A and B are shown apart, each in its own frame.
Chain A
Amino acid sequence: DTAVSQTPKYLVTQMGNDKSIKCEQNLGHDTMYWYKQDSKKFLKIMFSYNNKELIINETVPNRFSPKSPDKAHLNLHINSLELGDSAVYFCASSQPGQGKANEQFFGPGTRLTVL
């Protein structure tokens, strides 16, 4: 009964490769996100999708391309991986409601290591 799941949990790859991370939520939420957590544990928003539509792209290089095939899935594809892309990537989801800030639920994270 996992709410937000991500695969893979660990990803080790060489510079220049292309890789994808998958995210699925079974909460029925309309909004999904990708966050990046750096080595200092600082979490920063990358993308926000609402009903399969991209809402924000926060100063993320073009090499990162999110894709939402349906409301329950938000995948992250990364081209030409660089050393600086090494981090933990978290997917999250939330359900908008009038007048509420709406807590986000996070997946377990994908630790990406670029060699």
Chain B
Amino acid sequence: EDQVTQSPEALRLQEGESSSLNCSYTVSGLRGLFWYRQDPGKGPEFLFTLYSAGEEKEKERLKATLTKKESFLHITAPKPEDSATYLCAVRLISSGSARQLTFGSGTQLTVLP
């Protein structure tokens, strides 16, 4: 069965304290892996797409990496405004024209000033 697991469930960091969020996946065929940010009361906001092992993408303090089994979202010197829930999702080759995403349960990040 296809599975996406995120860890930790919750993470509290001091401002400036770098860390990483993990997304491990067990899927039959990966079309792409996505990272989203979700603020309370809002819809998920797209951050990155990764397609193949070894790929990396960066945006401000965030850097996403991908291996054959997992993805990491590295947060360098976070600020309080980085506090949000970070969601990982995969699109499977088997999804075909439906193109639906399979989501993990998210990591709730809190950055304290």
| Chain A interface residues toward B at CB < 8 A | 4, 31, 33, 40-45, 48, 50, 55-56, 58, 90, 92, 94, 96, 100-109
Question: A109 vs B96: C-alpha distance in the bound complex, in angstroms?
Answer: 25
A56 CB to closest chain B CB (Å) equals 4
Known: A4-B43, A42-B105, A101-B34. A50 touches B100 (CB 8 A): no
In-complex Cβ contact of B46 among A41, A90, A105 (8 A): A105
A95 nearest CB neighbor, chain B only = B99
Question: A105 vs B100: C-alpha distance in the bound complex, in angstroms?
Answer: 12
Total residues of chain B contacting the partner, CB 8 A? 28
Residues on the A chain within 8 Å of B89, using CB: 43
* Residue B44 is within 8 A (CB to CB) of chain A in the complex: yes
Question: A90 vs B42: C-alpha distance in the bound complex, in angstroms?
Answer: 10
In-complex Cβ contact of A31 among B44, B99, B103, B105 (8 A): B99
